[in-house]
Amino acid sequence: GLFVWRLRNAGVRQIPYRFVHLYHIANNRLITFQYFNFLKRMYVTQYNKDLSQQAKPKSNSIVSPFHELQRLDQEKKVVHKISPVSPVHQSWSEMSSRNELRDMKSAAETEDSVIPAGAGSKEDRQWKEMKLRLDDLPGILARLSKIKLTALVVSTASAGFAMAPVPFELTCFLLASLGTGLASCAANSINQFFEVPFDSNMNRTKNRPLVRGQISPLLAVCFAASCGVPGIALLTLGVNPLTGALGAFNIFLYTCCYTPLKRMSIANTWVGAVVGAIPPIMGWTAATGSLDAGALLLGGILYSWQFPHFNALSWGLREDYSRGGYCMMSVTHPGLCRRVALRHCLALIGLSTVAPVLNITTWTFPVISLPINLYISYLGFRFYRDADRSSSRKLFFCSLWHLPMLLLVMFTCKKSVLEKEDKGDLPGRSRERATEIRLP
Amino acid sequence: PPAHSHSDWIGPPDKHSNLRPIIFYVPPEESALERRLREARQEAQASNQRFWARHNRAFRQEKEEFIYSRLKAKGLEMRDESGQKATLNAEEMADFYKDFLSKNLKKHLQYNRDWYKHNFRITFLMGQVALMRALRWLRRRKKNVEQ
């Protein structure tokens, strides 16, 4: 979904395995701690990488005088000549073909295990054969489908499923999660397929598989189709047609609306927020089979959350967006960017209060969630007022733990199914009963 | 890339365009379809390279000019006492980024259209070539089985 082009792989190999482990038991509260740490680690490494890469271009920038246009063609020729001369490359070309293969493999492996540090890595400077290796394929496809982001999307869908006021059904839950995951993989792959030259030019995204030529565009499209079609079919036939339709619509919205719109108008952020709001709605409809007010509320919470999250993140990426030609509020309408972020932080408070009114949670939910909502609103206000990198970073990092925590609190305050039958209960007693009945 | 190789080779990112150049392998019996694919890819590569090299150069240049003019307005030199290059902070640069983006928007819209066209055409040709090669392989296998 929406997180897609914002969240990226940290590039550490071990994470995908932990991740698979994580979303199999997504409903279990015990994993939350791992989930936080994982999120923090992924985002911190990623964001730090971005920040450190921000520093790099400044030192790399050409120190030449202003009027260099005429000299450029000569410069280019020189540039192309220089790269083959590097000693690593020379020794490379002298090796036998078998050694080449072995070296390339180890090069690929070291690339994968080290957090891609951008221009610094030596492996990056070598010429690589454009041949697909089967053992690299899982890693490549994981990066193509933005597997970590997909897992986060699946977990928001599970949250939607969990919050639905129906008895928990394991098969339905698993089918819905799998279908959502496949749909997300498909959408992410198509997004990368569309954005190759732009990704090459942005620090955050320049190590993607299509950019590096590790996979052909044809294969990327085939992979997307082979994930998307079964995913949507699974949702439509295995869960219910409504969920399938929502999944298909979300793929369409993300690939055909959001991706092109990013380069045309700032409206892309709102479209992207809808893309992020749909997975929990899908989770809910998977469980109940209908679009209730509860689904829309959950969607609304995710929708509002996207703004502080994304606007804060985009504040630090203004140079890359400007050069890459992306129309983002942080570049073109900075005031609006901060206002919208603050507005939606406050909206979260409002939405949390509506939850018990719709009988989704008890009244303890707005009370318990108030501190975290107030905190993020406070950071949103600081961002609005200060408009600097440190406040944007604080807001961004807060949004990372805020959402899982909010969903968790919501789940613990969920009104149980049985309790709805007699509405005369006091809040205290109802919570006890909720604790007993909730988990299957 | 080595002379005996039968595949395409992709290189490190270009200094100006940040795009990775590809050297295409021309097989001895290249069919017309394969040639069309290769030429389409080469054309797209050249067009992308031209656009981004020019665009990035313009960006760097305008950025330098902006910094220079702002520093001058503040009465500062390009380099301070320690010889370090003076830079403006992100908030001051924000005006430049906004300006640059709006100036280049039309150029980007045109480029987007061209890029999408190239991309779809190349991928479609790749599909056709893959299909053709698969059929050829099947036919060859059938012939081997019959013999």
**Are the beta carbons of A41 and A49 closer than 8 angstroms?**
no
Q: Which of residues 258-287 of A touch B (CB under 8 A)?
A: 260, 263-264
In a domain, B1, yes or no: no
Residue range A118-135: average pLDDT? 72
Choose the weakest-confidence range: A230-234, A340-344, B3-7, B128-132: B3-7
pLDDT 10s per residue in chain B (147 long)? Answer: 677 778 888 989 988 989 999 998 888 888 899 999 999 999 999 999 999 999 999 999 999 998 888 888 887 766 665 656 667 777 788 888 998 998 999 999 999 999 999 999 999 999 999 999 999 999 999 998 887
Q: What is the pLDDT of residue A39?
A: 52
In a domain, B3, yes or no: no
In a domain, B72, yes or no: yes
Task: Give the tens place of pLDDT for each residue, A393-417.
Answer: 999 999 999 999 999 999 998 887 6
Most A-contacting residue of B19, B25, B60 (CB-CB within 10 A), to test interface:
B60
The vertex-A210 CA angle with A205 and A213, nearest 5°, equals 120
Q: Does B46 touch chain A (CB under 8 A)?
A: no
pLDDT greater at residue A285 or residue A424 = A285
Coil, strand or helix: which one is A7? coil
Q: Which of residues 103-122 of A touch B (CB under 8 A)?
A: none
A66, A125, A194 ranked by CB distance to B12: nearest: A125
The vertex-A68 CA angle with A65 and A70, nearest 5°, equals 155
Confidence of residue A272 (pLDDT cuts 50, 70, 90): very high
C-alpha to C-alpha distance for B62 and B98, rounded to whole angstroms: 13
Q: Which residues pair with A129 in a beta bridge?
A: B9
Q: Which two tokens stand for residue B100?
A: 């640059």
Cβ contacts (< 8 Å) between B87 and chain A: which residues? Answer: 58
Highest mean pLDDT: which range of A184-193, A316-325, B72-81: A184-193
Of A226, A141, A153, the residue nearest A6 (C-alpha): A153
Question: What is the percentage of chain A residues whose pLDDT exceeds 70?
Answer: 66
Coil, strand or helix: which one is B10? strand
Burial (CB count <10 Å: 0-12, 13-18, 19+), residue A264: middle
Choose the weakest-confidence range: A2-6, A123-127, A234-238, B138-142: A2-6
Coil, strand or helix: which one is B85? strand
Alpha helices in A66-208 (DSSP H): 72-85, 87-94, 97-113, 137-144, 147-163, 170-194, 196-200
C-alpha to C-alpha distance for A273 and A301, rounded to whole angstroms: 10
C-alpha to C-alpha distance for A11 and A21, rounded to whole angstroms: 18
- Whether residue B94 and residue A327 make contact (CB cut-off 8 A), yes or no, is no
Burial (CB count <10 Å: 0-12, 13-18, 19+), residue A285: buried
Look-up of token digits 């939350």: A32
**Mean pLDDT computed over every residue of chain A:** 76
- Whether residue A217 and residue B111 make contact (CB cut-off 8 A), yes or no, is no
Confidence of residue A134 (pLDDT cuts 50, 70, 90): confident
Residue range A135-158: average pLDDT? 92
C-alpha to C-alpha distance for A145 and A127, rounded to whole angstroms: 25
Terminal CA-CA length for chain B: 38
* Number of structural domains in chain B: 1
Look-up of token digits 């009370």: A367
Confidence of residue A98 (pLDDT cuts 50, 70, 90): very low
Most B-contacting residue of A50, A100, A130, A315 (CB-CB within 10 A), to test interface:
A130
C-alpha to C-alpha distance for A9 and A294, rounded to whole angstroms: 32
C-alpha to C-alpha distance for B125 and B120, rounded to whole angstroms: 9
Burial (CB count <10 Å: 0-12, 13-18, 19+), residue B146: exposed
- Whether residue B101 and residue A63 make contact (CB cut-off 8 A), yes or no, is no
- Whether residue B108 and residue A325 make contact (CB cut-off 8 A), yes or no, is yes
C-alpha to C-alpha distance for A321 and A328, rounded to whole angstroms: 7
In a domain, B134, yes or no: yes
Of A160, A405, A176, the residue nearest A276 (C-alpha): A160
Which domains does chain A show, CATH number per domain?
Answer: 133-289 (1.10.357.140), 292-415 (1.20.120)
Q: What is the pLDDT of residue B86?
A: 66
Residue range A285-302: average pLDDT? 92
Distance from CA of B61 to the nearest CA of A (A): 6
Look-up of token digits 């565009």: A217
Rg (CA), chain A: 24
Most B-contacting residue of A64, A101, A194, A200 (CB-CB within 10 A), to test interface:
A200
Q: What is the pLDDT of residue A85?
A: 39
Tell me how far the alpha carbon of residue A335 is from its chain's centroid: 25
In a domain, B116, yes or no: yes
Q: Does B111 touch chain A (CB under 8 A)?
A: yes
Q: Does A327 touch chain B (CB under 8 A)?
A: yes
Task: Give the tens place of pLDDT for each residue, A352-367.
Answer: 999 888 888 888 999 9
Q: Does B10 touch chain A (CB under 8 A)?
A: yes
- Whether residue B12 and residue A332 make contact (CB cut-off 8 A), yes or no, is no
Residue range A256-284: average pLDDT? 94
Confidence of residue A156 (pLDDT cuts 50, 70, 90): very high
Task: Give the tens place of pLDDT for each residue, A27-61.
Answer: 444 444 555 455 545 544 444 444 433 333 333 33
* Segments forming the whole domain that contains residue B56: 9-25+32-146
Q: What is the pLDDT of residue A128?
A: 85
In a domain, B123, yes or no: yes
Q: What is the pLDDT of residue B51?
A: 94
Longest CA–CA separation in chain B, Å = 87
pTM score of the predicted model: 0.74
In a domain, B126, yes or no: yes
Q: Does A62 touch chain B (CB under 8 A)?
A: yes
Look-up of token digits 């150049």: B21
Predicted ipTM of the assembly: 0.88
Report CA-CA distances (Å) from A161 to A218, A274, A361, B59, B136: 35, 18, 14, 48, 49
Q: What is the pLDDT of residue A155?
A: 93
pLDDT at A431 over 80: no
Positive or negative, the CA dihedral A110, A142, A406, A33 is negative
Q: Does B31 touch chain A (CB under 8 A)?
A: no
pLDDT at A247 over 90: yes
pLDDT at A154 over 60: yes
In a domain, B65, yes or no: yes
Look-up of token digits 């409809």: A285
Terminal CA-CA length for chain A: 29
Residue range A205-209: average pLDDT? 90
Q: Does A248 touch chain B (CB under 8 A)?
A: no
C-alpha to C-alpha distance for A227 and A340, rounded to whole angstroms: 35
